Structure formats: structure tokens, C-alpha cells
Amino acid sequence: MKSLFETETQQIILNRIQNLNETSQPNWGKMNVAQMLTHCQKPLEVANGTLELNTKIGFAKKLLFKLFKSAMYNDKPWQKNLGTVREFIVTDAQEFTIQKEKLIQDINEFSQLKEKTSWPTHPFFGDFTTEQWGKMQYKHLDHHLTQFGV
């Protein structure tokens, strides 16, 4: 699995983002391109420590999420139209250029953290290693860029 901590992979992701425009249409899902760019910032903000999710889940759900934890960073692509946490859902209008620039900034900030050893605990999946964070962020971005055909 590729990682957003790999310079070449980071550049590929950034190039794919540059191939988006205001009229890019999704191959699946409900978000428009500007909403997708905003949505993709959220997991990076959690990892960067600038967004804290105050989601409380019960023991049974926490156990269930741990069973699927490796799906967040393994080589198997995510299914189309997967659900997302409430805090990551973007339904309001977004300004494409602003959100594109913000996502690029968040990616560049995250990519500088490859030596980091202390990460926030994910509210659903628990703790991830640095390697897992890098793979998970790549996988999420790849999923949504594929959604928009870039």
C-alpha cells in the first residue's frame, strides 16, 4: 500500500488534485467536487491534531470497528458509497478554489509528520502507527480522487 509519507506518492496525489476543476463530476456518491475536497481535509485534520472528534461509541461498536481496522490501511480498495462519520459529511456549498488550496496545504502539513511517533487516538479504530496513518490517508484520498475520475 502506498503512503502519503512517500514523496513520490504525495506528488502523485497533488497532481491528481490539480487535475480537478469546478465542473468535475463524481462517478458515484452525493458530494460535488468542492464538497469532496472539504471532506478529504477532515481525516488529515484529525491526524494533524487540528480537528478533534467528540464522538462517543459504545463497547460493542468499538469492538466491531476494531475488527475492520486493517481495512483502513490495507491494499484492498474501499467500496463505493461507504458511509462516513457525521463530522466528515459535507452538504453545504463550498468554494472550489479555497477548498482545493486548503486540502493541498493539509496534505503538505501531514506529509511532514513521517517522523512523528505520538498520534491522536482515532475515535472509532483506536491507535494507529505512523505507517498506518500514512497508508490510511493515501487510501482515503485515492478513493475520492478515483470517485472524481482523476
pTM value is: 0.93
Q: What pLDDT, in 10s, does the model give residues 53-109?
A: 877 777 787 777 888 899 999 999 888 988 887 889 999 999 999 999 999 999 999
Which is higher by pLDDT, 124 or 37? 37
Residue ranges per structural domain of the chain = 7-147
Instruction: Give Cα 103 distance to the centre of its chain.
Output: 10
* pLDDT score of 92: 96
pLDDT mean across residues, the chain:
93
